[in-house]
């Protein structure tokens, strides 16, 4: 069966993202009841989650569909059943597969064998649902982000890679301040730049924040990197987002974080709880944007 997956933001064109954002606005204003009537979506989680899991489960229910959460512990995936077999089985029962996992190759393998849309709910390499939703939040705040400057401060992780992809598709400027040795994926950067994206990596958080409309950060040790936490805490110390960094940004700038946050590490409590922080709005918008993604993939 002909279908589309959403594994990275590069899977979408700018016009399609505009269409998804239109639907997300509609779904925020009125529950999209019936849009997934009679359909089931399986949510496969190989890593912990609060927001993604609950927002997808509630979103599918609000659309009149049936969400099936498959925690991997207790499933045959944990006992080594190949993803190629799992994908074909799940495709028979369900109309879409949402998956959070470790290596990005695992979700690619799932998508290769599935005959229904596969949605990336986070891999070690990308977190496209979060960043698409964050761009929706920023557009809502600033009425468009093309040509504006966005800052990323901290680890060149899955979130950073997805912001780079978003900059390439949506045409905003992205300056990332990362410690040496913790840059984003080199291929993601080079393909964005060769497609004309205004993406730069610097070493000074102040330089990244200068004039930005949004200052973004994330944990210093992502899921699966916990054993590096001590070393990372030392390396990332100068990359904490505090009031001094925020004061270098545009006077209307917002602070963004996908959460969960470690207060006092990558961001001060003052900034996270302060008037510029839009983290709660970001988290809420996950619901509407993910509903819109499912609607776009399943209803055309
Ligand atoms: N931001 C995010 O994806 O949160 P969870 O890990 O709680 O899903
Ligand atoms: N970079 C973080 C994001 C969590 C939502 C992680 O992968 O753990």
Q: Which residue has the tokens 């496969």?
A: 44
Tell me the average pLDDT across 144-163.
98
Tell me the average pLDDT across 26-32.
98
Residue 273 pairs in a beta bridge with none
Q: Which ligand is nearest to the CA of 154?
A: 2
Within a domain: residue 193? Answer: yes
For residues 238 and 266, state if they share a domain: yes
For residues 88 and 226, state if they share a domain: no
- Mean pLDDT score across all residues of the chain: 98
**Eight-state DSSP code of residue 5:** -
For residues 162 and 92, state if they share a domain: no
The pTM of the full predicted model, rounded to 2 decimals, is: 0.98
CA of 194 to the centre of ligand 1 (A): 31
> What length does the chain have?
300
C-alpha distances out from residue 32 to 60, 266, 268, Å: 10, 36, 37
For residues 294 and 215, state if they share a domain: no
Q: Which domain holds residue 78?
A: 9-127+286-299
Of 39, 286, 290, 295, which one is the catalytic site residue? 286
Within a domain: residue 14? Answer: yes
For residues 66 and 171, state if they share a domain: no
Mean pLDDT is lowest, of 72-81, 187-196, 240-249, for 72-81
Distance of CA 38 to the CA centre of its chain: 28
- 230 belongs to the catalytic site: no
Within a domain: residue 69? Answer: yes
For residues 122 and 134, state if they share a domain: no
For residues 293 and 262, state if they share a domain: no
What is the model's pLDDT at position 74?
85
pLDDT band at 72 (very low <50, low <70, confident <90, very high): confident
pLDDT digits (tens, 9 = 90+) for 1-14: 689 999 999 999 99
Q: How far apart are CA 127 and CA 157, in angstroms?
A: 9
Q: How far apart are CA 136 and CA 159, in angstroms?
A: 15
For residues 70 and 146, state if they share a domain: no
Tell me the average pLDDT across 44-56.
97
Burial profile 197-208: b = 16 or more Cβ within 10 angstroms, e = fewer: bebebeeebeeb
Within a domain: residue 87? Answer: yes
Q: Is the confidence at residue 73, as pLDDT, over 90?
A: no
Within a domain: residue 4? Answer: no
For residues 35 and 137, state if they share a domain: no
For residues 160 and 100, state if they share a domain: no
Within a domain: residue 2? Answer: no
Neighbouring residues of 291: CB distance < 8 A, sequence distance ≥ 6: 23, 24, 27, 32, 35, 59, 62, 63
Domains: count for the chain:
2
For residues 75 and 215, state if they share a domain: no
Q: Helices 279-299 & 128-142, crossing angle to 10 degrees? A: 110
What is the model's pLDDT at position 1?
64
Q: How far apart are CA 300 and CA 298, in angstroms?
A: 6
CATH number of the domain bearing residue 163 = 3.40.50.1370
Q: What percent of the chain has pLDDT over 90?
A: 98
- 258 belongs to the catalytic site: yes
- 100 belongs to the catalytic site: yes
pLDDT band at 46 (very low <50, low <70, confident <90, very high): very high
Of 62, 95, 130, 240, which one is the catalytic site residue? 130
pLDDT band at 222 (very low <50, low <70, confident <90, very high): very high
CA of 90 to the centre of ligand 1 (A): 23
Within a domain: residue 3? Answer: no
Please say whether the beta carbons of 118 and 5 come within 8 A.
yes
For residues 142 and 276, state if they share a domain: yes
Within a domain: residue 272? Answer: yes
Q: Which residue has the tokens 């960094």?
A: 245
Q: Is 170 helix (H, G, I), strand (E, B) or coil?
A: helix
CA of 223 to the centre of ligand 2 (A): 6
pLDDT digits (tens, 9 = 90+) for 87-146: 999 999 999 999 999 999 999 999 999 999 999 999 999 999 999 999 999 999 999 999
């Amino acid at each position: 069966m002909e279908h589309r997956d959403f594994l990275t933001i590069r899977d979408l064109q700018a016009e399609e993202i505009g269409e998804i954002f239109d639907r997300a606005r509609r779904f925020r204003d009125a529950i999209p009841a019936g849009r997934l009537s009679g359909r089931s979506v399986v949510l496969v989680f190989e890593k912990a989650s609060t927001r993604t899991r609950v927002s997808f489960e509630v979103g599918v229910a609000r659309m009149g569909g049936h969400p099936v959460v498959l925690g991997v512990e207790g499933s045959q995936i944990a006992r080594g059943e190949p993803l190629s077999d799992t994908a074909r089985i799940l495709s028979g029962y369900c109309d879409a597969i949402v998956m959070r996992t470790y290596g990005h190759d695992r979700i690619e393998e799932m998508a290769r064998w599935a005959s229904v849309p596969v949605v990336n709910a986070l891999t070690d390499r990308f977190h496209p649902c979060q960043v698409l939703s964050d761009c929706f939040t920023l557009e809502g705040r600033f009425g468009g982000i093309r040509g504006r400057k966005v800052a990323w401060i901290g680890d060149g992780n899955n979130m950073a890679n997805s912001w780079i992809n978003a900059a390439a598709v949506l045409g905003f400027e992205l300056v990332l301040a990362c410690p040496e040795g913790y840059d984003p994926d080199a291929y993601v950067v080079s393909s964005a730049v060769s497609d004309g994206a205004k993406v730069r990596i610097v070493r000074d958080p102040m330089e990244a924040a200068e004039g930005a409309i949004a200052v973004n950060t994330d944990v210093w040790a992502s899921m699966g990197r916990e054993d590096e936490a001590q070393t990372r805490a030392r390396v990332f110390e100068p990359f904490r987002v505090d009031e001094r960094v925020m004061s270098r940004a545009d006077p209307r700038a917002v602070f963004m974080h996908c959460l969960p946050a470690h207060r006092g590490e990558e961001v001060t409590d003052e900034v996270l709880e302060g008037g510029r922080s839009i983290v709660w709005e970001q988290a809420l918008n996950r619901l509407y944007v993910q509903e819109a993604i499912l609607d776009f993939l399943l209803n055309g």
